[in-house]
């Protein structure tokens, strides 16, 4: 299944990419996708534990299951305002 990934701020800068698509096995969780991202972009590995995740625009837990067509965003600690 294909999951669209969005990276922002420091994570996007370190990975050098803002949008990508991951091809994941059925039953993959957000944690699984995060591990894959860490392997693909070693520069973000140490920062990922400080990030939250948003699935289809809503914060969710890393144990959540992904499905085909999902949009998964890595959310570094926010600093708006």
Partner 1 sequence: MSDRIEILSTPLSVYDAEQFVVDLQAGGICVFSGNTRAETSSDGRELVALDYEAYADMALRQLNELAGRARERWPILKLAILHRTGRVAVGEPSVVIAVSCGHRAEAFEACRFLIDELKRDVAIWKKEVWKSGDATWVH
Distance between CA atoms of 24 and 28, rounded to whole angstroms?
Answer: 6
The least CB distance from residue 25 to partner 1, in Å, is 26
76 binds partner 1 (CB under 8 A): yes
The least CB distance from residue 27 to partner 1, in Å, is 25
Question: Is 50 in contact with 38 (CB distance < 8 Å)?
Answer: no
21 binds partner 1 (CB under 8 A): no
> Angle at CA 7, nearest 5°, toward 57 and 42?
140
Enclosing H/E stretch for 22: strand 19-23
Q: Considering only 27-35, 36-44, 62-70, 73-81, which stretch makes contact with partner 1 by CB under 8 A?
A: 73-81
Residues in touch with partner 1 (CB under 8 A): 6, 8-10, 13, 50, 54, 57-58, 73, 75-81
């Amino acid at each position: 299944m294909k999951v669209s990934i969005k990276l922002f701020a420091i994570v996007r800068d370190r990975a050098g990419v803002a949008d990508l698509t991951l091809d994941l096995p059925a039953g993959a969780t957000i944690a699984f996708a995060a591990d894959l991202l860490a392997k693909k972009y070693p520069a973000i590995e140490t920062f990922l534990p400080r990030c939250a995740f948003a699935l289809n625009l809503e914060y969710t837990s890393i144990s959540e299951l992904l499905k085909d067509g999902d949009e998964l965003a890595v959310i570094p600690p926010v600093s708006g305002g």
